[in-house]
Structure 1
Amino acid sequence: MPLEDRYGLPLSTSSDEAASAYREGIDLMLSGWTGTAETLERAIAADPGFALAHIARGRVHAFYQQGDLARQKAALARELVARRGTERERSHVETLALAIEGRLPEAIATMLKHVDAWPRDAVVLSLPLGAFGLFAFSGMADHDRARHQLCERVARHYGEDWWFLTMSGWAMTENGDVARGRAVTERGFNLRRTNAHAAHAVLHAMFEDGSIEEADRLVDDWILSYDRAGILHGHILWHQALGALEHGDAARALKIYADVLQPSATQAPPLNVVTDGASLLWRLSAYGHAVPRALWLEADTAAQKLFPKSSLPFADVHMALFAAATQNNEALAARLAVIEQRLAEGKLPAGPVVPAICRALAAFADEDYAACVQMLAPVLGEVVRIGGSHAQRELIEDTFIVALMCSGDVPRARTLLDARLHRRPSLRDTRWQATMA
């Protein structure tokens, strides 16, 4: 009888040890838990010819922007699966390899065909899901809906699976069905509490429904069980810092930054290092709180090493925050030139919203609030194209609201804030007090 993964799909290995370590490693990866890389290495050691273990290890390398190692693993997995692998495994390896190589349109097309044929292949299904998934970074304006629809299509194949409930619930939340999304996500979380993606998804639901105090308690209680090396450790505390800001507690937000988000303290993947740090410091400044310039300069130095060239629009927007805040006009101009060139060549799926945001952020930092409003107003509905979650993208709307206030259009700013409170009726938001004053 062939060995199988946890979802009942055959594995092309005769090693019980390799199969067991692979199943454990995949569960750790799907839950964002520590020990993933080490466990997959055990599977590889037990059966060096096991292609799925190699491609999974490559995906973990990719999480941490270890591009050369990830591509090497992808190439090796392709060779191995051609010699010893089923049709499903060959498609699995190819789909993950395309994602690792950054070939997003091909990866999405291959992923959709694969999921149609093997809907219970959770590793492949995980690729388009989440705020940093293939759909989110595709430039699609409807990627939140696309994730939700994909999950709905395959839901009957998963039942009460802890991983699927987590991700499908989060997809519901991001697509606007917050109450249902939170309930589904919490079901998954209760089935496996050692699941950072579930804790994270619940926090997103709490953000959307305004349950800030409840989210704060969740982080305080749950984070004790999660190692600082966990892939989402810093980001989960970033959510807590957002809650502190919504109550005007800048000191607590800055303490969280110093403890887990500052480049010298964090163990997060590069994309989170850049985006979490930049967005929190920018929010602090925008809401009228003092941010020591040294914090910006230190974080910018680290960010420039991690993302020296234009890459993902989501990263580019956050690099623009650094350039604007540090008045590094040369760096911003160089990045914008590349972005504009890619746009002109039709190689920027997210479209003109990316350079518009970057320019608006620079105008905001220069205190040219009227120009910021003028640049952002036409593209606010397109901000979703840069990817990330709604909680992350709200930074752009917040910048727009503050720019309206500072340019004298307080009634329009109040209209936007009233709409937010209508969406999030439990929210008691005091972050604007300094700015409004």
Structure 2
Amino acid sequence: MAEFDNRGLPISTGSLQAAASYRTGVDLLLSAWPGAEDALRQAIDHDPQFALAHAALARLRAINAQPADARASIAAALEIVARNGSPREISHVSTLSLAVTGQSVKALESALAHLEQWPRDVLILSLPLGAFGLFAFSGMTGHDQARVDLCERVADRYDTDDWWFLTYRGWSHAENGSVAKGRDLAQRGLERRRANANAAHAVAHAMLEQGAAGEAETLLEGWLPEYDRAGMLHGHLAWHAALSALERDDPQHALAIYAKHVRPSVSLGLPINVVSDTVSLLWRLQANGYAVPSGMWEEVESYAGSRYPNPGLAFVEMHMGLLAAATGRHVAATDRIDANARRVADGALPAGSVVPAIGLAALAFANADHAECVRILEPVAGDVARVGGSGAQREVIEDMLLLALMRSGQSAKARDLLDRRLHRRPSQRDTRWRRQVEV
């Protein structure tokens, strides 16, 4: 008797227990919920020749920044599927192999081709989506629209109550500006599977984009205690709550959330989230004149340096530039900027020249040369989306430009930028800044 995954696609295993554990493990992976690795290991224990279980484990290990283990798992999957895999499974494992081994351009091409034939292959559909997906890190400026287009292209192939598809379709629409539609979809996803960190994340994002920071705080305060601290998005969701506290000008509450959930010594999140969340929150505090408690920057610097000693993803480089400038490591910052400029020249940095420009602008800002910050950052402001991540994560760069405009006496430009932001969404913080530039 054939076994199937949770979206009705056949899977090659003769073990009922392996199939059940695989279905559980994939759903835990897709909901960013603890227990996925244990479930996938159980699937492999029940059937060591279950290629898809090895491949899913490889995907999970890659997400968890365990590259050596991920490569070992995907190698096992490739060897098994070559012997007895179906065409769908061979393509599935091959696509995941490209993603796991860092061949992002080929992985995106392979994923999109695969989805033309098997649009309900949810693990492959997840690859291009999300803030850290293949679209986001492709270097394109229009990745928000690309995610929406992909979701709409396959929407009629998913059940209307599919919790995962509701979540990611909702997040994609909210990030692309259709915030009310996105929030409704994501909330329906959360209602159908409450143990779904990606849905809580998507709903909180949409609330913040609507200017409903208080609602986002209430949601997260009620939901986060249900989510184990080992969950990969626990610290990041707390970061969103801290941003909401800053929105209403409560830095002490933001710091309390940071100390309890976000800082490197307490967070069990993914390194990319730990670095980006800590750097951007402390930067926002410092740039707005609030005191950053002693030792906090040093802790982040130590963690980030150990995880990302060499230039890599544009999204990480954006935050490493902010970190080096904010902590006064200007020689190190210049070295990293030069290294990224060489990568741009060599065609090795898909996001392009916006990455070294952000580093240079951060240095100018840290040196209180706000006019120079504006001169560097203003021409590339439209390209910041190329670094990937979400709009909330990239907003720290627009904040830097806005504060530099205000502090260099360019009030008219600051007003124009604030008016555009306030038109996009209500914001207590931007309203306060708008009053300041009227003085």
Name the TM tier (shorter chain): over 0.9
Unaligned runs of 5+ in 1: none
The aligned residue for residue 342 of structure 1 is 343
Q: How does 1:284-303 map to 2 (within 5 A)?
A: 284-303=285-304
Q: Is the 1:246–1:431 contact (alpha carbons within 8 Å) kept by the matching residues of 2?
A: no
Q: Is the 1:247–1:429 contact (alpha carbons within 8 Å) kept by the matching residues of 2?
A: no
CA RMSD of aligned residues (A): 1.5
The code of the aligned residue for 1:86 comes to S
Q: Structure 1 stretches (4+) deviating beyond 2 angstroms? A: 425-437
- SS of the aligned residue for 2:4 comes to coil
The aligned residue for residue 353 of structure 2 is 352
Q: How does 1:270-349 map to 2 (within 5 A)?
A: 270-349=271-350
Q: How does 1:22-421 map to 2 (within 5 A)?
A: 22-160=22-160, 161-421=162-422
Q: What is the alpha-carbon distance in structure 2 between the residues aligned to residue 48 and residue 432 of structure 1?
A: 60
Q: Is the 2:267–2:274 contact (alpha carbons within 8 Å) kept by the matching residues of 1?
A: yes
Q: What is the alpha-carbon distance in structure 1 between the residues aligned to residue 433 and residue 76 of structure 2?
A: 53
Q: What is the alpha-carbon distance in structure 1 between the residues aligned to residue 253 and residue 293 of structure 2?
A: 15
Cα 1:434–1:364 change in 2 (3 A) is farther
Q: Is the 1:211–1:427 contact (alpha carbons within 8 Å) kept by the matching residues of 2?
A: no
Displacement of 1:327 after TM fit? 1.2
Displacement of 1:394 after TM fit? 0.6
Displacement of 1:414 after TM fit? 2.3
Structure with greater contact order relative to length (CA < 8 Å, sep ≥ 6): 1
- SS of the aligned residue for 2:3 comes to coil
- SS of the aligned residue for 1:341 comes to helix
Displacement of 1:366 after TM fit? 1.1
Q: What is the alpha-carbon distance in structure 2 between the residues aligned to residue 285 and residue 263 of structure 1?
A: 18
The code of the aligned residue for 2:334 comes to A
Displacement of 1:332 after TM fit? 1.5
Q: What is the alpha-carbon distance in structure 2 between the residues aligned to residue 235 and residue 176 of structure 1?
A: 22
Q: What is the alpha-carbon distance in structure 1 between the residues aligned to residue 377 and residue 132 of structure 2?
A: 23
TM-score under structure 1 normalisation?
A: 0.97
The aligned residue for residue 2 of structure 2 is 2
Q: What is the alpha-carbon distance in structure 2 between the residues aligned to residue 372 and residue 154 of structure 1?
A: 43
Displacement of 1:334 after TM fit? 2.4
- SS of the aligned residue for 2:120 comes to coil
Q: What is the alpha-carbon distance in structure 1 between the residues aligned to residue 294 and residue 70 of structure 2?
A: 36
For each residue in 1:213-264, what CA deviation from the matched residue of structure 2 results, as whole angstroms up to 9, or x when unmatched? Answer: 1111100111111101111111011001111111111101111111111111
Q: What is the alpha-carbon distance in structure 2 between the residues aligned to residue 427 and residue 6 of structure 1?
A: 43
Q: What is the alpha-carbon distance in structure 1 between the residues aligned to residue 97 and residue 172 of structure 2?
A: 24
For each residue in 1:124-173, what CA deviation from the matched residue of structure 2 results, as whole angstroms up to 9, or x when unmatched? Answer: 00001000000000101100000000000000001221100100111111
Number of residue pairs the alignment of both structures matches: 437
For each residue in 1:190-227, what CA deviation from the matched residue of structure 2 results, as whole angstroms up to 9, or x when unmatched? Answer: 11111100000001111111011111110011111110
The code of the aligned residue for 1:212 comes to A
Q: Is the 1:189–1:199 contact (alpha carbons within 8 Å) kept by the matching residues of 2?
A: yes
**Identity among equivalent pairs (%):** 54
TM-score under structure 2 normalisation?
A: 0.97
Q: Is the 1:287–1:432 contact (alpha carbons within 8 Å) kept by the matching residues of 2?
A: no
Q: Is the 1:287–1:434 contact (alpha carbons within 8 Å) kept by the matching residues of 2?
A: no
For each residue in 1:31-86, what CA deviation from the matched residue of structure 2 results, as whole angstroms up to 9, or x when unmatched? Answer: 11111111111111111111111111111111121111111111111111111211
Q: Is the 2:32–2:196 contact (alpha carbons within 8 Å) kept by the matching residues of 1?
A: yes
